[in-house]
Structure 1
Amino acid sequence: KIGDVELSSFTEGSGDEVRLQVDHVLREGARALILDLRENGGGLLDEGVNVASIFIPDGTIVSTDGRAQPRQVYVAKGGAIPTAIPMVVLVDRGTASAAEIVTGALQDRGRAKVIGTRTYGKGVFQEIEPLPNGGALDFTVGEYFTPSGHNLGGGGVREGAGIRPNISAATAPGATHDTALAVAERTVAAEVR
């Protein structure tokens, strides 16, 4: 049995939400997991670290570096599920930011195979500066790096941006059969011991 966990964005409490979903499917007898991050545009960095920590027991999840900020390394928080439980991550061009951070950490650390299409490539983070007139300026102030040191950047435009899947699979728009999910199910089922 395969547990399918979907997350549409990384908002406050997403780590707890995913933990509940994972614990539920494991209690129901799942012996492998699919983490579906397709069309997940990201969100809060800390929630990305929380989600990755569910699957990665220790070590680096992501690092950040900016012109005015020293390099910061975010590490797994502990309490991960057993790494013997096989998993894959489903991604597409709509997978960005914190979703790419989680995907990159799982791929770099050898915890999951990535299936789908190349991700968006949002390898930067911003700070918002309020203006006196009530508006705001959004400044890019730094970059994200996966555990292997890969920067996801390029806005999905330049070659090398985003995360390249281990296995390419895409579902055609409007299709009634989810081809990418079927590939993910076959791939992770083959790894169940």
Structure 2
Amino acid sequence: MWMAWGEQLTFFCNAAYRRDTLGRKYPWALGRPANEVWAEIWGDIGPRIETVLRTGEATWDEGLLLFLERSGYSEETYHTFSYSPLRDDAGDVVGMLCVVSEDTDRVIGERRMATLRDLGSDPSVIRTEQEVLAFVDRQLSGNRQDLPFTLTYLFHDDSARLAGTTGIGPGHPAAPAVLPVDGSDGVWPVAA
């Protein structure tokens, strides 16, 4: 969990949040304004925090997609959390507390398992090689988050022929129509 306190919304967090969520931002983040700590997602969380501070009412989000920069690059993450008001002795709202659980592994795992489930779904009505290849392309194209593009090649004795694509068209430099199986002059390391 973490909290933002005072006019500057000074950032504090517990050890579990530091270890699991803050990443490389520790120890730099401690004592900084929360809008600096989470500048990359402030457009998403800032309005929620402002609502809590203005109304004194808690918020709740489940599995919210946030692109955090905690490891030196923008990272797809998912979080379930609540923002609750923190009050001073006079009862005035002077900060907010965030209780959070990261759902990234679960959300991405479920998405990938759904892709595998769909890919392995009953293709009993499919009778020809072309129908199988079209079926594979349809299933793989449904998950652009994990598979921005796919190339399906059919291997023969001395080469592999492009048989299907998603997210990239045939004729693209990364999608040659034929790949040599021995790896010579190929875009992809087929021999490896």
- After TM superposition, the score normalised by the length of structure 1 is 0.25
When you count helix as a share of all residues, which structure comes out higher? 2
When you count strand as a share of all residues, which structure comes out higher? 2
Q: Which has the larger radius of gyration?
A: 2
- After TM superposition, the score normalised by the length of structure 2 is 0.25
